[in-house]
């Protein structure tokens, strides 16, 4: 089972994030995602986990989906962005 970091753990290990994005999904979306992630885990005999590529890698464990659907977790996942993750745009570049 995956272990989520609490906000105090995130703050201690990485510092203060500039933003946090909460991931929510419908029951049907969770069930479809769970099936795909379960298939990844089954084919690899538990050696690999599935992830969604969304400009960063957000790891969602099958157990996280179950905990989210049962109401134990408020969100399916969280994405944190820190100052070093933010790229500044300069008009003179490129």
List, as one string, the DSSP characters of 9-35. HHHHHH---SEEEEE---HHHHHHHHH
Mean pLDDT computed over every residue of the chain: 76
Phi first, then psi: give them for residue 48, nearest 5 degrees: -120, 155
Q: Which residue has the higher pLDDT, 69 or 90?
A: 69
Any idea what the Cα angle at residue 45 is, between residues 47 and 38, rounded to 5°?
90
Mean pLDDT for the stretch of residues 36-60: 71
pTM of the entire structure?
Answer: 0.48
**pLDDT, position 70:** 94
């Amino acid at each position: 089972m995956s272990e989520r970091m609490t906000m105090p753990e995130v703050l201690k290990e990485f510092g203060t994030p500039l933003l946090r994005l909460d991931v929510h999904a419908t029951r049907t979306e969770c069930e479809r995602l769970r099936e795909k992630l379960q298939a990844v885990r089954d084919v690899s005999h538990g050696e690999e986990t599935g992830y969604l590529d969304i400009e960063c890698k957000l790891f969602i464990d099958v157990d996280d989906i179950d905990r989210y659907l049962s109401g134990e977790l408020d969100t399916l996942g969280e994405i944190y962005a820190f100052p070093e993750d933010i790229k500044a745009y300069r008009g003179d570049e490129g």
